[in-house]
Chains A and B, each alone.
Chain A
């Protein structure tokens, strides 16, 4: 067991720091949260800077246009960019973290050549059309239907909670191609261009007041058969290959930023006198222990992935469970420090507190994570 980095890794970190110090002051001002086209431009602009500097797709395989970095280098990258206050992936999220890696793992050479470079260069935005009104946790119950018509699929149905749908160029779409097969076996993965006729996007307002996701209605949308990744009816497996990858490093930057927020909270408490309350100090002390542990757990999981050749272990679900709860506790504590000001949307941390509420729901609810831990890791009998 070792927590030191190799000289190569330290050199990688030093070069990255130097680059960040030079480039971050040249960034344009952050656009307002409501202005989606401006946010898209900002997020993609940052991605382009990463690309030009050789940091795009850092942990993607080289033959997919990535840099083939080790999980530890990826960890360092996420840690340092967050420390330096660099922009978050934002609208690039699905392309860089899910659709892209899926195409890299399962797509044909032609599909990779077509879709991956624009993701890495920050030219195209992807969204994820998985959830449906009647298929959330039970994703495999999805009903959006795709019928074959010559060299096209004709897709009808509706998707919901689709993040970034409004500004996306492409949608990684799960559709049902064989309604008579068992539910996991009749699903297909398609890349759907968002400007195809028959698509209607209706933004949904989140409880934080912004329109971060949308409903997407599909009425006889024609998608070429060549846009299918993997075999017909094999879409469930194609998707799961990548879903498990998400959980290894998806929250690295966030843990770093939570630790920074924790320090800010302590200073605020000292300033407004609440620090004198021992119960509050104890709570902050516990949160410090919690986020220190989550950082160590991240390092442990990353090292494990490295050892096993990139395959994330069971640690991902354990991490997600623990982290999503800790993040909510962090911002609840922030509210206690703010006192009456915790009800003022213009105060820092108040919007973060609202958005933290999604963490125990999105990307697999805490209940579903516990089912996964109990059944797949502990081997308890599958429930119904």
Chain B
């Protein structure tokens, strides 16, 4: 028998994606998001529930209490987290669970990491990976991601110039992808219902083309992110990161534009997608690193070699 469907979700993967989506939408829907916005701190109950559901232990072997799945499954789950703007150092905790940091897999511990010269959720964290000494809080642009800046004696970032962990970059790209597809949906919903000049604004071609552009970027980024999840190749991950960042950042901007004045309000969710997308883009380190790595590849230079 030839089994010949390759690069599509398997039935199990679809079920997992839908299950995670249902879980997150149920537990962290729009209302919960707005409540979180007004409630400082991380919801530790939710964190433990995520742990119990296996969210942090997706790639941990079953023998060690994990779910025993692969990177593609983790990517699908993180995509869903990005959709609903689930707060917390999700990526750092997932990676910590993989590294057997006690309590990470079960959601008993909140683990953060120094990434891109910043630390997310430092005050809530039970474990910090990397050297966060001397970290100073900053007034985070994203109301749902408290941030600390890690200073450097020489005036340069201690860690910002180091290449980020490819797995962290990939899971972050998955979150960006989820956010991008959500802002595309939000824009389309608004464009279908908001009426001006006696018709839905989505009937105007300028608006239509903004929405089409969002889908174009989401579709291309999705192929890149899923492929990188399958190969785990650092170059594929770097490419996925560039496309997913673009889809999330550009998508949130266009979504804001489609929403008009409503998009500029605190009340709308659009700004939350944009601000989180900025935080995530930073988390993956300097864009130039990814670009240089992909440029080097064209000359056959080994991945990671910075020219």
Tell me, yes or no, whether A binds B. Answer: yes
Interface residues of A, Cβ cutoff 8 Å to B: 1-6, 8-9, 70, 72, 262-263, 265-267, 270, 275, 278, 281-282, 284-286, 288-290, 292-294, 296-297, 299-300, 302-304, 306-307, 315, 318-319, 321-322, 367, 369-371, 373-375, 377-383
Please give the number of chain B residues whose Cβ is less than 8 angstroms from any Cβ of chain A in the complex.
Answer: 59
Flag if A1 contacts B226 (CB, 8 Å).
yes
- Find out whether the CB atom of A380 lies under 8 angstroms from the CB atom of B6: no
**Does B265 sit within 8 A of A, measured CB to CB?**
no
Least CB distance, B220 to chain A, in whole angstroms:
5
Complex CA gap A288/B293 in Å reads 10
Tell yes or no: B238 within 8 A of A by CB.
yes
Asked if B205 contacts A383 (CB within 8 A), the reply is: yes
A374 to B206, CA, bound (A): 11
Q: Look across to chain A and name the residue whose beta carbon is closest to the beta carbon of B233.
A: A292
A318 and B220 contact, CB distance less than 8 A? yes
CB-based A-B contact count at 8 angstroms: 179
Contact B230 A1 (CB under 8 A): yes
Rounded to whole angstroms, the CA-CA distance of A307 and B11 in the bound complex is 12
Known contacts: A289-B238, A299-B227, A374-B209. The answer to whether A318 contacts B216 by CB under 8 A is yes
In the bound complex, residues from chain B placing their C-beta under 8 Å from that of A265 are: 298
On whether the beta carbons of A288 and B191 are closer than 8 Å, the reply is: no
Shortest CB–CB separation between residue A290 and chain B, in angstroms? 8
Question: Which A residues are in CB contact (< 8 Å) with B215?
Answer: 318, 373, 377-378
What separation, in Å, do the CA atoms of A98 and B192 have in the docked complex?
35
CB pair A293–B298 under 8 Å, yes or no, is: no
* Chain B residues near A278 (CB-CB < 8 A): 288, 292
The listed residue (A282, A292, A306) touching B5 by CB distance below 8 A is: A306
- At the interface, yes or no: B236 with Cβ under 8 Å from chain A? yes
B288-A371 in contact (CB<8A): no
- What are 12 A-B contacts defined by CB distance under 8 Å? A1-B7, A282-B292, A285-B242, A288-B297, A294-B220, A296-B223, A300-B223, A307-B8, A318-B216, A321-B216, A370-B208, A381-B199
The chain B residue with its CB closest to the CB of A373 is B212
Tell me, in angstroms, the Cα distance from A5 to B202 when the chains sit together. 42
The proximity string for B residues 1-17 relative to A, scoring 1 for CB distances below 8 Å and 0 otherwise, is 01111111110010000
B binding-site residues for A, Cβ under 8 Å? 2-10, 13, 72, 184, 188, 191-192, 199-200, 202-205, 207-209, 211-213, 215-216, 219-224, 226-227, 229-231, 235-236, 238-240, 242-243, 288, 290-299, 307
> Which of B4, B188, B222, B227 is close to A378, meaning CB atoms less than 8 Å apart?
B188
A306 to B7, CA, bound (A): 10
The answer to whether A285 touches B299 (Cβ under 8 A) is: no
Q: A72-B4, A380-B203 are in contact. List 19 more A-B contacts (CB 8 A).
A: A1-B9, A2-B230, A3-B7, A8-B2, A70-B4, A286-B242, A288-B294, A296-B7, A296-B227, A297-B223, A299-B6, A300-B223, A315-B219, A370-B213, A371-B209, A380-B202, A380-B211, A381-B203, A383-B203
The closest CB in chain B to the CB of A381 belongs to B203
In the bound complex, do residue B224 and residue A374 qualify as a contact, i.e. CB atoms below 8 Å apart?
Answer: no
Q: Given A299-B6, A318-B215, A370-B208, is A289 in contact with B230 using a C-beta cutoff of 8 Å?
A: no
Q: Are B294 and A286 neighbours in the complex by a CB distance under 8 Å? A: yes
Tell me if A306 and B4 are in contact (CB < 8 A): yes
Q: Which DSSP category, helix, strand, loop or mixed, fits chain B's interface?
A: helix
User: By the criterion CB–CB under 8 Å, are B6 and A2 in contact?
Assistant: yes
The reply to whether A284 and B298 form a contact with Cβ atoms under 8 Å apart is yes
Distance (Å) between the CB of A289 and the closest chain B CB? Answer: 4
| Known contacts A374-B212, A380-B188; A1/B13 CB under 8 A | yes
Which A residues lie within 8 Å of B294 (CB)? 284-286, 288-289, 292
- Whether B212 pairs with A370 at a CB distance below 8 angstroms is yes
Is there contact, CB below 8 Å, between A371 and B227? no
Q: Which residue of A lies closest to B301 (CB)?
A: A266
Of A270, A278, A293, A383, the most chain B CB neighbours within 10 A belong to A293
Return A102 CB to nearest CB of chain B, in Å: 26
Of the candidates A282, A300, A378, the one whose C-beta lies within 8 Å of that of B8 is A300
Tell me the nearest residue of chain B to A307, going by C-beta. B5
CB neighbours (8 Å) of A294 from chain B are 220
Known: A267-B299, A379-B188. A4 touches B209 (CB 8 A): no
User: Do A4 and B6 touch (CB < 8 A)?
Assistant: yes
CA A266 – CA B297 in complex, angstroms?
A: 9
Interface pair A303/B8, CB less than 8 Å apart: yes
Q: Which 8 pairs between the two chains have the least Cβ-Cβ distance?
A: A285-B291, A266-B298, A289-B239, A285-B295, A285-B294, A374-B208, A370-B212, A293-B224
For B295, the chain A residues whose CB sits under 8 A away are: 266, 281-282, 284-285, 288
Does A380 contact B208, Cβ atoms closer than 8 Å? yes
Residue of A nearest to B214 (CB): A378
Is B239's CB under 8 angstroms from A292's CB? yes
**Chain B residues whose C-beta falls within 8 Å of the C-beta of A318 in the assembled complex:** 215-216, 219-220
CA distance A322 to B217 in the complex (A): 8
Cα–Cα distance between A61 and B14 once the two chains are bound (Å): 31
Q: Assuming A293-B239, A297-B220, A299-B223, is B297 touching A3 (CB within 8 A)?
A: no
* Residues of B close to A374: CB separation below 8 A: 202, 208-209, 211-212
